Structure 1
Amino acid sequence: MLAIVAAIIFGLGFLLDLLDTQIAGSISGTTFMLLGLTLLALHQAGIGTASIKTNGGWRGRARR
């Protein structure tokens, strides 16, 4: 989910950079780029991802 939000933020930042505009004085394309990178880092860290817990730990069901 965070990766999708990051893609949208990157798109907005790209449009702001192309149009060379700023929102509210200090929010520019670079700000959106940094916010998108933060969201991608959180996604890679596993925050915001759905997971199902199993009894077997990280391996799930292991054949024996």
Structure 2
Amino acid sequence: MLGMAAAVLFFIAFLINAADITTNDVFSSGNVMLLGLTLLALHIAGIGSGWARRPGRR
């Protein structure tokens, strides 16, 4: 789920950069891209990946 959110943030950052949309400093394309990278790192680390399987139970 976090991987999909990261992809959406990367796409928004691309649109902001490609369309040369002027935004305030909080929602600049670089900041949105860094948020996407943070979500991608959390996804790769296994946080937010869904249900965890308990060992020993079938």
State the TM-score, normalized to the length of structure 2.
0.83
Equivalent runs, 1:1-64 vs 2, <5 Å: 1-23=1-23, 25-26=24-25, 27-50=27-50, 51-55=52-56
Question: Which residue identity lines up with residue 39 of structure 1 in the other structure?
Answer: L
Q: Identify the structure with bigger relative contact order (alpha carbons < 8 Å, sequence gap 6+).
A: 2
Cα offset, 1:53, TM superposition: 1.5
5+ residue gaps, structure 1: none
Any conservation in 2 of the 1:22–1:29 contact (CA below 8 Å)? no
Structure 1 moving runs of 4+ over 3 Å: none
Which amino acid in the other structure matches residue 41 of structure 1? Answer: A
Provide structure 2 residue ranges, at least 5 long, that are not aligned to the other structure: none
Q: CA RMSD in A?
A: 1.7
1:12-59 Cα distance to aligned partner (Å, 9 max, x none): 000000012233x10211111100000000011110012221317xxx
Percent sequence identity is 45
Q: Which has the larger radius of gyration?
A: 1
Q: Structure 1-normalised TM-score?
A: 0.76
